[in-house]
Amino acid sequence: MLGEIRGEVRFKEPLSFHTSLRIGGPADIFVIPQDVEDIRLALSFAEREQLPMEVIGGGNNLLVSDRGVRGVVLKLEGCLGRAEFNGEEAVAGAGVSLSALIREAAALNLGGIECLVGVPATVGGAVAMNAGTQDGGIADFISAVYFLYPDGTLGEFKPGAGSFSYNVFTAPAGSVLIGARLQLHRRPFAEIQKDIKQRLKQKKSTQPLALASVGCVWKNPPGETATRLIEKVGLKGKRLNGAEISAKHANFIVNRGGAAAADIKALMQLTLDRVRNHFGIALEPEMKTMGEI
């Protein structure tokens, strides 16, 4: 069945090649599908062989075990990479990069989603994690999400109350998110471009974008910011081997070279313990983990 897949099938593929943190051991079976039919075949194979399946996009906001991941890992970045526009709506495949979608929309004088500029994600990853900034999240624009179910059928899911919460999207069990419909609005191209430039300038000045990272590690507690709490307990710039709580932005942990997942996890545990001891606040991770860490 794997032989029928027209995309790529690799065995013992290092996931460090596919994560923004540049960390991660091998995936037993790594599939880069060419189209929806390839995804169907991969789903069917995993179900038949009773293997777990994980889905990744660009590998952002993801910490993968040094020991790797058992079963099948499906990578959608590079697949389902087209967006179509009709009036003020966009239908984007899960593999479309968020930055590309923002640029394509802007060229058609369609705005709104520029509040997400600089968020490193595919559309699929952004929906799955309910990606957002202080000015808005992708959930604000979603009118429908499209899935491939384990039996190979396609489904449309219209999010309702409770479908999205902070960094969580509740998807139908066992399904693979393959695309989304977004509602945009007309806005002059010059205004959108000005907004994008200002947002990117702000990010470059405050975030360690030149280093490998997962982006923000912790969710902001109600009425507080994780960044301030981490700074207050003196952990900004703290290093462990190649891992560092960024000296530029305390809610980022960066890989300065040679960091292992265990190093990242140890810094996270240190942060969790110290913030809890000082403030009585239990920070919650914003990123996803994969494999046993």
Write out pLDDT tens, residues 240-253.
999 999 999 999 99
Q: How does strand 89-93 pair with strand 176-183?
A: antiparallel
Q: CA 103, CA 106: separation in Å to the nearest integer?
A: 5
| pLDDT at res. 159 | 73
Q: What is the mean pLDDT of residues 112-128?
A: 90
Q: How does strand 288-290 pair with strand 62-64?
A: parallel
Q: What is the mean pLDDT of residues 142-148?
A: 91
**Is pLDDT at 71 greater than 90 in this prediction?**
yes
Helix (H) or strand (E) holding 125: helix 123-128
| pLDDT at res. 6 | 94
| H-only helix segments in 20-92 | 36-48
**Is pLDDT at 187 greater than 90 in this prediction?**
yes
| pLDDT at res. 279 | 97
Confidence of residue 107 (pLDDT cuts 50, 70, 90): very high
Buried/exposed code over 145-157 (b: 16+ C-beta within 10 A; e: otherwise): bbbbebeeeeeeb
| pLDDT at res. 166 | 47
**3-class DSSP assignment, residue 270:** helix
Q: Where is mean pLDDT largest: 43-52, 204-213, 251-260?
A: 251-260
Confidence of residue 157 (pLDDT cuts 50, 70, 90): confident
| pLDDT at res. 161 | 56
Q: What is the mean pLDDT of residues 68-74?
A: 96
The residues, any chain, with a CB within 8 Å of residue 228's CB and separated by 6 or more, are none
Q: CA 17, CA 25: separation in Å to the nearest integer?
A: 9
| pLDDT at res. 3 | 85
**Is pLDDT at 232 greater than 80 in this prediction?**
yes
Q: CA 56, CA 215: separation in Å to the nearest integer?
A: 16
Tokens read off for 202 = 């702000």
Nearest Cα residue to 31 out of 65, 67, 4: 4
**Is pLDDT at 167 greater than 50 in this prediction?**
no
| pLDDT at res. 109 | 97
- At position 18, the amino acid (one-letter code) is H
Confidence of residue 169 (pLDDT cuts 50, 70, 90): low
Confidence of residue 152 (pLDDT cuts 50, 70, 90): confident
User: Percent of the chain scored above 90 by pLDDT?
Assistant: 75
Q: What does pLDDT average to over the chain?
A: 91
Q: What is the mean pLDDT of residues 170-192?
A: 88
**3-class DSSP assignment, residue 121:** coil
Q: CA 94, CA 264: separation in Å to the nearest integer?
A: 28
**Is pLDDT at 155 greater than 60 in this prediction?**
yes
